[in-house]
Structure 1
Amino acid sequence: MTHILVPYHLDEHRPGLDVPYEPAVTVSRDLTGDDVWERVGGLYAEVADVVAADVRGGQVPLVMSGDCMVSQAVVAGVQRAHDRASPSIVWFDAHGDVQTLETTTSGYLGGMPLRMLAGYRPELLADRLGLAPIAEDRIVLVDGRDLDPPERDYLAASNIRQVFTAELDADGVPLGPVYLHVDLDVVDGAELPGLLFPTPGGPSASEVGQAIRRVLDTGRVAAVGLGCTWHEGQDGQGAAERVRAALPF
């Protein structure tokens, strides 16, 4: 597994971002453009190229970043390596990440990446990356428990399947190659210090690690995204070490 670091939170460069694993590759560049989509679009095109080359080389890239939006680049890279064949998605996250620009009250773009992977507003990023939408029935949201009303409405009407961490087994993993996404805030907020958006009532890091192992054991994981969605300086509080001990990467 190739550890790739993208030290950004959206278009904010975070060179001091603590990550659980030593990166073999770091993708960093000067971000230019009139809006956030243009700025991250250039970065993500480079990330997609790195991911595609790694997958073509028979490796499984693990992309670590400070947010979940970089998932657009990882999935685009997998599609490039597989001649645009789309992977299924297993998405571990305390949040739904299915907001839209029209429904969000906070305006936080990090609450939209799963909705965008399912085809929302392709002109924002997907068209720039050559990213094809993922069919909703090929997406599983794991332990999404902090959902705003528009997210609940969308998920209830969609074909996205929702499960708890303990429920996810090999039979519940969608067919085909898999993009495995893990936002570390899926872990109960009391267990990991310093999360940007801690959410109570979740599984332990050990339980998340066991579920991830069940997904990896299918032998179909093509790429992994790891959202290190915490404040700077978490190594001092032991968060990265706890993640290393619990997750099977």
Structure 2
Amino acid sequence: MTDHSTGGAWDLIVTPWHLDEHIPAFPVPVGATEVIPPALPEGPVAARMNRLHQAAADVVAQAARPLVLSGDCPTARAAVAGIQRRHQDLAVVWLDAHGDFNTPAITASGYIGGMALAMLTGRTPGLFDDPLDLRPIPDTSVVLADARDLDPAEDDALTTSQVRRVPADPAAITAALGDLGPIPVYLHLDIDVVDGAQLPGARFPSGPGPSLNRIEECLAAICATADVVAAYLACAWLPEHVGDPATRDTIDRLTRALGAELTWREPAG
């Protein structure tokens, strides 16, 4: 595949919320565009999330090469909807300890955050009152790496899908990308893919898994071999830990593997 390691500067975007909850302490790099959460109506969580996603999609659509730092995974639907305004076809590489492939029909917990990849592949119609003009990504254009922590029904859904599942290994991921051909890539990483022992304060630690160093290698390999037109880092730490020095160091390392160098704003107060 072509070497894309110098694929251009990143446009940093911050979406500081988890589902419908604003995270005031979310770290914001210097030069980043922070999506200001709009006023949210009373009512269902999905309706409130949709208002946030509308704002995020508009900001992403204006960025040449967006790198989104977010507090959750579902805002990925906004990122992809924004990217699709410029790219007709898109592949998705999704690195996550979880499959995020639940739907309202099969979820055991009802947690909307566990449906993010299912949203992108068109499996959650009617969940949001505004589809954002999001075009479903075909299963055959999705590479899911790791996904070591799955609910039983979610595992079944992935097994019967055509999503390409691979370990969090640079060679395995780039081989799967090679099978997709020269298609622009949206690269999504949930930090909980990293071994839980290396993620103090994570919302959903998933026990033993690939090291932070291995995930850095995966990101660098993807950027070197694919046309990564957008990337997304789900910074799923608990609110009281999202601004910790250790958290910022992890974000620094992951974004550096993508070719971005961050400088942090000093926290307010």
> Structure 1 length normalisation: TM-score?
0.91
Give the one of 33, 46, 62 matched to 2:67: 62
**Aligned twin of 1:141:** 144
Give the one of 160, 167, 175 matched to 1:171: 175
**Aligned twin of 2:196:** 189
Q: Does 1:89 align with 2:92?
A: yes
**Aligned twin of 2:214:** 207
Indicate the RMSD between aligned Cα atoms, in angstroms: 1.8
In the TM superposition, residue 61 of structure 1 has moved relative to its aligned partner by: 0.6
Taking the aligned partners of 1:153 and 1:219, their CA distance within structure 2 comes to: 29
Q: Does 1:240 align with 2:248?
A: yes
2:18 maps to a residue whose letter is H
For residues 180 and 126 of structure 1, do their structure 2 counterparts lie closer, same or farther at Cα, with a shift above 3 Å needed?
farther
Taking the aligned partners of 1:123 and 1:180, their CA distance within structure 2 comes to: 26
1:44 maps to a residue whose letter is H
Runs of 4+ in 1 over 6 A off after TM superposition: none
**Aligned twin of 2:52:** 43
Q: Which ranges in structure 1 are unaligned for 5 or more consecutive residues?
A: none
**Aligned twin of 1:31:** 40
**Aligned twin of 1:121:** 124
Contact 1:97 1:111 in 2 (8 A): yes
Q: SS where residue 231 of structure 2 aligns? A: strand
Mean Cα deviation higher: 8-17 or 233-242 = 233-242
2:44 maps to a residue whose letter is D
**CA-to-partner distance for each residue in 1:133-190, whole Å, 9 max, x for gaps?**
0100110111100001001101111100111111434332233111100000000000
Contact 1:141 1:161 in 2 (8 A): yes
**Aligned twin of 2:77:** 72
Taking the aligned partners of 1:104 and 1:246, their CA distance within structure 2 comes to: 30
Q: SS where residue 81 of structure 1 aligns? A: coil
In the TM superposition, residue 8 of structure 1 has moved relative to its aligned partner by: 0.5
Q: SS where residue 209 of structure 2 aligns? A: coil
Q: SS where residue 162 of structure 1 aligns? A: strand
Taking the aligned partners of 2:126 and 2:80, their CA distance within structure 1 comes to: 16
Q: Share of identical aligned residues, percent?
A: 41
Q: Which ranges in structure 2 are unaligned for 5 or more consecutive residues?
A: 1-9, 261-269
Taking the aligned partners of 2:128 and 2:81, their CA distance within structure 1 comes to: 10
Taking the aligned partners of 1:246 and 1:67, their CA distance within structure 2 comes to: 16
Taking the aligned partners of 1:158 and 1:62, their CA distance within structure 2 comes to: 28
Q: Does 1:4 align with 2:13?
A: yes
For residues 197 and 23 of structure 1, do their structure 2 counterparts lie closer, same or farther at Cα, with a shift above 3 Å needed?
farther
Contact 1:209 1:246 in 2 (8 A): yes
Contact 1:126 1:132 in 2 (8 A): no
Contact 2:13 2:68 in 1 (8 A): yes
> Structure 2 length normalisation: TM-score?
0.84
Mean Cα deviation higher: 177-186 or 125-134 = 125-134
**CA-to-partner distance for each residue in 1:44-91, whole Å, 9 max, x for gaps?**
11211111111xxxx321111111000000000011122xx1311000
2:124 maps to a residue whose letter is R
Taking the aligned partners of 1:126 and 1:224, their CA distance within structure 2 comes to: 26
For residues 80 and 114 of structure 1, do their structure 2 counterparts lie closer, same or farther at Cα, with a shift above 3 Å needed?
same
**Aligned twin of 1:216:** 223
Taking the aligned partners of 1:92 and 1:211, their CA distance within structure 2 comes to: 9
